[in-house]
Structure 1
Amino acid sequence: MPRTLIISDVHANATALEAVLAAEPDRDAVVFLGDAVDNGPRPDAACDVLRDLDLAAAVLGNHDRTVLAADSPEAASDDPFAAWQAWSHRRLAPDNRAFLDALPRTATLALGNRRVRLHHGDFPRPETHDGPWRTRATPEDDPALFERVATRYDEDVILHGHSHFPFVDTVAGTTFVNPGSVGLQREGWPADRARYAVFEDGAFDLRSVRYDADAVAADSRALDSPFADIWGRAVPSAQTD
């Protein structure tokens, strides 16, 4: 059975992405769950690496969408993050913009005998849902959220990212798998761990690998990236006076 690497939320961190690929050289296929860009210093390099992988399947993330739209008149509104997204947009080569623009919002594939739905994880609110709706699904959420998502799709497995929270859980007969984030960890988590998952022998295995986060923080400063403060907080050891 093919050994499938599942990655999500690279966030322009090509260093972390390359560490994951080096840790899994025996992969047969790669699946990408969105957010290639934004919040990191190397959006173009991250897309170059993803394009070279000949991805088995991939979907578009919310940050990918906003970065692609960052040169539109609507993007120059009161959005406080518009300048960040415009910075990333300017650093994307036309081929990489086209690569992101061609990605679907959702896709399907087969992993062994499992039918799989891919979605970045910013699941839209169901039309019939009247209560609060969280788009960043984590194990801490009400199982009802997962049940509503499970009823939307026919597949046995839903692969998703977005929350940066790695987990595998089965709700209402549907297995939800979030591999975690390759390039940007949740606040308070070790910044130098790139997280991902591997599907092999019918099972999903959550994994992580260490990478040089200090170099990413230093790169952000050197490029005068608008994300330098984010990386400075995540990697205090990389800060200079």
Structure 2
Amino acid sequence: MLAFLSRVFLVIVGLFLLPLGAHALWWAMRDDVAPSWRAADWSSAKLLPAVSEAPQAIVAVYAARVGRWRGIFAHHTWVVVKEAGANTYTRYDKVGWGSPVRTNGWAPDGRWFGNAPHPIVVIEGEAAERLIPQVRQAVASYPYQTFGAYNAWPGPNSNTFVAHVIRSVPELDAALPPTALGKDWQPWRDIVGLTPSRTGIQISLGGYAGIALGWVEGIEIDFMGLVAGIDVRRPAIKIPAWGRIGMDPITW
């Protein structure tokens, strides 16, 4: 028994804690981390076209590293929609202050705490037009909107919200990055279920540990919010704290 526990401990250290420690060291050596919320750059990263230049419908999901020490291991994600011919984008975030879901709190493709976002999925045209009502319905149906329902770790949090949207609209055909802490959180009554893409099976022990096997998500092992895994569909490895390394996962 002692030998088995020793092996489990070594696996946890090698697979999760060593990458976390290495990324923490790298993060500490950066000189571009915003020291405070007020000092951070929240401006547009210019990923989306101006609405005057984009008459088509657009649905997008973005992710960006969070601020200060939490950026060592976590991304924040959000959802953006625009109907065909609309004169504005609509951005949805779930954050730890305010209720319910925050609408247009920041630029649709804005930096998050100074960190530039990257797209998880971008869908345009008729396909986006068909999905927008479903996305809006998913936002409205998110069950953890009330004040006090947000829990930064292990969830439900901002990434739990976006995972709910993806689960409600599987046609988005997207998987959140492994560093989207909280994406795998599920209440204890739903230990076993489908992955957000509905292409596989997910086991979640309250966000503290779990495993996912899906065509879109690949193979993921979750330990205390840190995720290690492999993407087979778009070949890549998923390293705790560092994130995804390999083929670009974005769906257009």
**Would you call these one fold, judging by a TM-score over 0.5?**
no
Query: TM-score normalised to the size of structure 1?
Result: 0.28
- More helix as a share of residues: 1
Question: Which structure ranks higher in relative contact order (CA pairs < 8 Å, sequence separation ≥ 6)?
Answer: 1
Query: TM-score normalised to the size of structure 2?
Result: 0.27
